[in-house]
A and B are shown apart, each in its own frame.
Chain A
Amino acid sequence: MKIRVWGARGSLSAPGPATVGYGGNTSCVEVELADGTSLILDAGSGIRELGQRLLGREQGELHICLTHLHVDHVEGLGFFGPLWRAGWKLRFWGPPSTTATLRERVSRYLSPPLFPIGLSEAPAEAVFEDAPREPWRIGSAVIEAQMVEHRGPTLGYRIEDEGRVLAYVPDHEPYLTAALGDEPKWISGWALAAGADLLLHDSQYTDEEYLGRLGWGHSSVTHAANFARAAGVRQLAMFHHDPMRSDRELEELYDQVADSLRRDQEPPLIAREGLEVILG
């Protein structure tokens, strides 16, 4: 399983000289499975550049797993090349809703007045499905989606491919559910991340910032590290960086995260555009 980060910023794209090192594009991660199947996690602005690269390939099927439909996770769709070329088949997976289908909810963004062209005009074949409640197979991988603590219906994903595990939980506030400090099974998202080789996890706030943003749906870097400890992941990658966070400030937070992890865990990563990790 080959993982490549195309966008690691949270909430809002943040281009500019202060963020050029880790990048300003919002959430998008490409996963190439062992059998060659392409899986895309979220469709933030990072998916634009990924789409341009995919257009150089033979047309085929792509799976796009959306964690939720906040703008920073779908804003790149309008500029995702394969969506606007006939011959591609895009299978979207996302959180269920009691009020509207996934297609209807994505269409709210891909329609006037927020976007000039409607989803129905896209030449590619786009199929939308609620993520199954039970694990399901895509290519060589078993995918598991579970609701996690964030504002609105939000999924985290666990991707197991040839014995290696990637957990992707970019928007998550597990602190709200860990108040008792008891069994880890009562912490939101724990089962998704348990024993994962790599966890891409929300690390949006400093500890000080979190105090003023309790309940906004995101984690402090300390909470991200504590969650990684509780889940016993091999390596944590800090993800969903605050749009106000400069490269220098991100690096200043790194030691704090590293010090919070267990000794048997690998040093954390700061997710950046272009980061590639091969599991297996």
Chain B
Amino acid sequence: MERKQPDLVLIVARSFATKLATPTLIIDANGNLVYFNDAASDVLGRSYLEIGTLHASRWQELFQPRTLDEEPLTAEQTPGGIALLERRPVHDSFVMRGLDGREREITVTAFPLFSQPDEVVGVMSIFWERPAKS
């Protein structure tokens, strides 16, 4: 039996996200999407149970993030990617395509999850869909 298990901070972050009514997404230290909550499902267009864990390149491909000027963003350029790689909080807006096919502008606050002063185990991204322009 393989006993490997995520760090407790990531486990608790995921558990916290299940209880939040604000759209929240968790990625691990390798950039893999390991959870998003029900509120996030409304923005992303599918539930976590339908999608499951996604490799970093795969979720970037699925959601097609782009700047507000329509420039493509790599996973490393999204707020979650910057928070993970640069170990700092990020607040930004970008455009993405939900799995229901609908384009959305979202504003994200992403911050790294430190389990030790020198160890980042993942990133929590809390986001909001920006109101449609009138």
Contact = CB atoms under 8 A, between A and B. Distances in A.
Interface of A: 96, 98, 133, 146-149, 176-177, 179-180, 185-188, 190-191, 194-195, 232
Interface of B: 1, 3-9, 11-12, 14-15, 18-19, 115-117
A98 B19 contact: no
Given A98-B117, A185-B6, A191-B4, A179 B19 contact: yes
Contacts of A96: 116
Contacts of A186: 6, 11, 14
Nearest to A98: B117
B3 A194 contact: yes
Given A180-B14, A187-B11, 12 more contacts: A96-B116, A147-B8, A147-B9, A148-B8, A149-B8, A176-B15, A177-B12, A177-B15, A185-B6, A188-B12, A194-B1, A195-B1
6 contacts: A146-B8, A179-B15, A185-B4, A186-B6, A190-B3, A191-B3
B117 A191 contact: no
A133 B18 CA distance: 27
B12 A190 contact: no
Contacts of B14: 177, 180, 186
Contacts of B8: 146-149, 188
Contacts, number: 45
Given A98-B117, A194-B1, A177 B11 contact: yes
B12 A149 contact: yes
Does more than half of chain A's interface fall in helix, strand or loop, or is it mixed?
loop
Given A149-B12, A179-B15, A185 B5 contact: yes
B15 A191 contact: no
A188 B1 contact: no
Q: Please indicate which of the listed interface residues B5, B12, B19 has the most CB atoms of chain A within 10 Å of its own CB.
A: B5
Contacts of A149: 8, 11-12
Contacts of A190: 3, 5
Contacts of B4: 185, 191
A177 B5 CA distance: 13
A180 B18 contact: yes
A146 B121 CA distance: 14
B5 A191 contact: yes
A75 B1 CA distance: 37
Contacts of B115: 147
A104 B104 CA distance: 52
A79 B79 CA distance: 54
Contacts of B9: 147
A64 B26 CA distance: 36
Contacts of B1: 194-195, 232
A214 to B, nearest CB: 12
A112 B28 CA distance: 44
A109 B6 CA distance: 33
Nearest to B8: A147
A170 to B, nearest CB: 16
Contacts of A191: 3-5
Nearest to A155: B8
Contacts of A179: 15, 18-19
Contacts of B12: 149, 176-177, 188
